[in-house]
Structures are given as structure tokens and as C-alpha cells.
Chain A
Amino acid sequence: MYLLEAFSYLDNVATMPNMLAMLVGVTVGLVIGAIPGLSPPMAIALMIPVSFNLPPATALILLVSCFAAGIYGGSFSAILLRAPGTSASAASAIEGYEMTKRGRAIQAIRISTFASVIGGLISGLVLLLLAPPLAVVSLWFGPAEYFMVALLGLTAIASVAFGSLIKGLISGLLGLFLSTFGIDTYSGFPRLTFDLVGLESGFDIMPAIIGLFAFAQGIELCEGDSSSNISGVKKLSWNIWPKYSEIYHVRWSLVRGWVTGLVMGIIPAAGGSVAQWIAYAWEIRRAKKGDEFGKGEIKGLAATEGSNNGVTGTSLIPMFVLGIPGGISAAVILGALMIHGLQPGMRLFKTSPDVIYTIMWGFLFANVLMGFIAVFLARAMAYLTLFPRGIIGPLIMIFSVIGTYASTNNIYEVWIMLGFGIGGYYLTKLNFVPAGILLGIILGPIAENGLRDLITVSHGSPILFTLSRPISLTLLICIVLAIYFSLKPKKWD
């Protein structure tokens, strides 16, 4: 009955205004997502005034298209320049950029597009067909589960530390430590602010990503022969359509990435930023002889790209069904939903099924459209890898500055970005792991708030409380297994 109802609104989406909304949303999302510092929430917020005069379904199609494409757009700059456009595409920068350096940029874009489009489609189908029952799952997550999710994410550090495990773990701890700067939300006490106003809000994720990856990459590109290009080839062969053999080779990596994304999407506050690292670490733990993780392994890229777009649809489930936004993008879309007079919740499916199902179908079609538009945009962007490194490097630095300033409107954040950039550059030279620092910064607040809430709600017995809840216990077992497989030596090592 429920499925039949969903399918009965399929033809609503095929109107000219809805198609135009999708086209505009996808294009704006891809372009803004590709620029370091400009995030999908910003793209969605930018489109809200445009959506005021549109019918509710068309307006929301515009916004959800922007959201899906924004997440994917971030992967372009991550893969081609090692300058992730969004926090959800940082892990793709590791294997993706290594592929670009080895002249395999087009292959990386090809597999990224396939993983993202199909991941978004599956996620959209889950949103369309299973939203009400799955929304209940997000209510099962309490402090113990959040703390366990954060710990599970932190186990990824052991996997991404390619050079030195000890230095990788120190990097993760450094990230956790940096995440504690700023005013403590529990006591209002300023922690490690040194009386600097700019540090009171702590270290935001965006300046950290831009600094650690983009700005540091700008400096690195200027080293050595500045007239050579990134890809090491003079001409790019152009075949964007994925080959069957390529997909077959990474089939299980894709499935693992998609599944990780779908599950992590339902958990509020986790999202693509966490899912990508869990998916990537999962791949590394399953590495086989001959796999070259850290040196352009396509399986790693397939998993991260599958996971970050696998998140998109399911992250909207708690928002539509319960009115709980799972992340900043979902919160902005929730605001737009209410501006258009729609009250999120199960009633929405009864009072305005035509609107809600049309939006969901629109999200699905937007993912397909995203694949086609991405082909043209990626082609144009891929030519950047043929430019001299001595020009691309300073350009990345200029974009890092404007991206940080435009997203925060605060010059302090630009200085913080510069600090992360200098630190990231020199720490990489010393075999520390910028990805570990970033993971610590992303997961630190989730872990700390989860732990402190857990201590409060468990009345001083957090371990017993954790063991008594099925989801937190399952997550704990996953953490133990993840640590075991991370530290277990491979047969060929």
C-alpha cells in the first residue's frame, strides 16, 4: 500500500518547472561543492531565496538536488587537486589524488561518478521506500551509541596511518585535542582560548580541511619543477563511461561504501564526514596482496565515493519523518520546508503525500542528472591537472583564502586556516598524518559530548550502561574487530 502510494506520484516529477529546478540545483551544487570552503549548506542557503516563489515540491526539489550534487562536487577538487571541496570528500583526496598524480585522473573521476550516482540512487530509493520505518532507528541512538560511533570512526586512524602507526595515532590525538579548544558547551568555561576572541568558538572543520589539505597542497605543488604538471601527462584521454572490468574489480568496495553510507546517514550528526573514513578504513583492513592503498588504490576511492553519496538520501529520513535534521544541510532544508508551510513528521505523509513523494522522486532523478552534468564539468576541471604546478599551487592558495573567508566571513578563520596549512605541510614532511588530525577534529565533539552525556545518564556506570544496550554493544564489538583487523599483520607484510 505504502509502496504503491509512492509510485503513484512518479509522474508528478516530470514537469518542466521540476526538471528546471533539478538542472539549476545540480549545476549550482556541483560548482559550489567543487570550491574548497564553499559547502553544500551554503549552496542550499543560496537557493532558498530563489525557491520562495516556487510551488513547495519544486522548491524542495531545487534544494535537495543542490544537496546531492554539492556532496559529489567536492570530490572533483579532492581527486584532481587534493583540495577537498567538502568535509565529506576529504578521504577521497588520499587515493583520488594519488591516481591523478599517476596519470589516472579520468579513471578516478569515472569511478567516482559511478559510485556517487549509484550510491545517491540507492540512498534515494531507501528514502522513498523505507523512510517511516527507518526513521525509528535514529531514535534508538543515545549518548552511548554516539560515543561508540565516534570511537568506531577513530579506529580508522590506525588504518590511514600509512607511514608510521605511532605518528598516525599521535595525529589523531592531536586532532582530538584541537577539537576541545573553545568555550565548553557544558560549563561555559573557555578552554585553551588564551584570551583570543577568534579561538572562543574553537576550531571549525572547514578551515581545518582547507588548511590541512588544500593550502598545504598549494605549497607542495610549488616545490620542485614548477613548470611540470600534476598528472605527468601532456594529454588526457577522455572516456568517462565506466568499464565493466573496472566496476567488477571494485564491486565489493562499492557495496561496502554504499552500505556504510546508507547506515551512517540515518544516524543524526554522523553523515558523510564520518562515513567516508569508516568505509575507507574498512577497505584498508580487507586489503589483498597487490593492493596499493595510499598510492592510488581504486578500491579505496570507490568505497569513499560510494559512502559519501550513499549518505545523502538516508540523512534526509530523520528530517522528513521526525523533524530531526541529521546535519547542517538537512537543517537548512528543514527550514525551507517550514517556510513553505510544511510541518515535518509522519503527518506530512498523510496531509501532503503529493509534495513529499514528488520531492523524493525529484531527489532520485537529480542523482541521474548529476551524473550527466558531472561529465562536462569534470572534463573542464580535469584540464587543471595539465596546468604548470607553479601556477596551480598559488591558485589553490588564493582559493583557500577566499573559500575560508566567504564561508565564515571572519578573518580569524583565515589565520586559523593558514596555521593548519603550515602545520599540515610540515607535519606531512615528518610522516605525521593530516587525515588523522582531521578525523580527530571531526569526531572529537561527538565523542566528548557522547561520553559526558553517557556518564550523566548512566549515573556513573557508563560501561554497564553501554553493554546493556543492543546497538552500543554491537558497535563495541565492531570496534574490537576493527582494532583487531587494523593491527593484525598481513600475510605478505
Chain B
Amino acid sequence: MESNPVDNSSVGLPLFKAAWGPRITGGICIALALYFGNLAKDFPAGGGIFPLFAMGGTIVLAILLIAASFIKTNASGQKILRLDVSYNSLKPPILIFLSILYIIAITEIGYFTSSICFLYITTYAVGIRNFKMVTLTGVILFPTMYGFFVYLLHATLPAGILF
């Protein structure tokens, strides 16, 4: 019996066939290129040449990307893409969210306090439970960083309300 080329075995919420991936990507590229190209067309003194060249090239390549997805109709294109909602796949968005909070916190609370909190929270969020190792890393790292950046480089790090 011929094996089914459509792989529906993976977990997660079904989204669309993989062949639609480049079509959606290409569509987004064309839309963005048209928007930015429209902004760039009125730049004075030849300032629009390069942005228009880049956006025009992007549109041509995006069309090629979409066309290729119709020409290459192999088994991998029939695979159903799924939205993985496991904790592991949510780690990147969690880390990005924590990073945004971290950057806000370094100006409000202070660089070193925020960094210590960020180290503990992110390592915990990604599954590290060896707090001895995290603490040891922090104890060695942060005083070294302080000495290096503040005393050696004379860098003005955000102090915030704490430190």
C-alpha cells in the first residue's frame, strides 16, 4: 500500500498546508514593500532610489517565491502545519516578553537590580532548577561586570531608583 505523504501525526492546532507558507510570506513581503515603496517615492535629491530599488527587488523576489510554491508541489508542501502550544514552543515569546520588561526596568529600577531579577526569572522560566549554579553565576558575574563597566570603561549605566 502506498504511504500517505500527508503528515498529520504531529501535535498542535492544525493551521494550513505547508505550501501556503511561502505564499503568505510572499504576500506579506509584497504588502510591506508596496507600503514602504510608496513612502520612499517622494524622497528629495535622489534619496528614494535605494529604498525603491530594495522594495522593487523584494516584490520581484516575493512573486518568484509564490510562483515556486505552485510549481514545486512535493509531499512536504502537502504537510499540515500546526500551531504548537506546548510550553517548550512558548518559551521564545515568554523570553521576549520578559526582555521587554527587563529593558523597561533597567531605566526605572536600575541596571544591576533588574539584571539579577532577569537572570533568576528567565533561568527559572526555561526550566533551570539548579539555583546554586544560578546564584554562583550571578555572584561571580555581576561584581565583575560592575567593576569592568563602571570603573574600567567609565560607562554610565542606568541607575534607576535602586541600583
Contacts and interface: CB of A to CB of B under 8 A. Distances in A.
A166 B58 contact: no
B50 A176 contact: yes
A490 interface: no
Interface in A35-69: 38, 42, 46
A81 to B, nearest CB: 15
A215 B91 CA distance: 14
Contacts of B91: 222-223
Contacts of B119: 394-395, 398
B54 interface: yes
Contacts of B122: 222, 393-394, 397
B85 to A, nearest CB: 15
A143 B45 CA distance: 17
B50 A223 contact: no
Contacts of A394: 118-119, 122-123, 126
Contacts of B141: 395
A397 B54 contact: no
A406 B40 contact: no
Nearest to B62: A170
Contacts of A388: 128, 130, 133
Q: List the 4 closest A-B pairs by CB distance, nearest first.
A: A187-B45, A177-B54, A394-B122, A390-B128
B50 A189 contact: no
A interface majority secondary structure:
helix
Contacts, number: 156
A170 B153 contact: no
Interface string A224-239: 1011000000000000
Contacts of A222: 91-92, 95, 122, 126
A209 interface: no
Interface in A397-424: 397-398, 401-402, 405-406, 409, 411, 414-415, 418, 421-422
Nearest to A388: B128
A191 B128 contact: no
Given A398-B115, A418-B103, A390 B62 contact: no
A226 B64 CA distance: 39
A14 interface: no
A452 B126 CA distance: 49
B61 A173 contact: yes
B interface majority secondary structure:
helix
Contacts of A192: 36, 39-40, 51
B21 to A, nearest CB: 8
B25 A430 contact: yes
A180 B137 contact: no
Given A179-B50, A184-B45, A414-B106, 16 more contacts: A173-B58, A177-B58, A180-B47, A186-B47, A189-B44, A191-B43, A219-B92, A391-B123, A393-B122, A397-B95, A398-B119, A405-B111, A406-B149, A411-B107, A425-B92, A440-B54
Contacts of B49: 448, 451-452
- The range of chain B's interface size is 35 or more
A174 B54 contact: yes
The CB with the most chain A CB atoms within 10 A, among B39, B47, B107, B158, is that of: B47
A391 B92 contact: no
Interface string A157-200: 00000000011011001101101100010110101100000000
Contacts of A224: 88
A124 to B, nearest CB: 27
A170 B107 CA distance: 36
Interface string A444-466: 10011001100100000000000
A86 to B, nearest CB: 16
A184 B47 contact: yes
A169 B57 contact: yes
A402 B65 CA distance: 39
B160 to A, nearest CB: 12
B161 interface: no
Interface in B110-136: 111, 115, 118-119, 122-123, 126-128, 130, 133-134
Given A192-B36, A223-B91, A397-B122, A180 B50 contact: yes
30 contacts: A42-B153, A46-B153, A170-B58, A173-B61, A176-B50, A177-B54, A180-B51, A184-B43, A186-B45, A186-B46, A191-B47, A215-B99, A222-B122, A222-B126, A223-B91, A224-B88, A226-B126, A390-B123, A390-B128, A391-B128, A391-B133, A394-B122, A395-B119, A405-B157, A409-B156, A411-B107, A418-B103, A422-B96, A425-B92, A448-B49
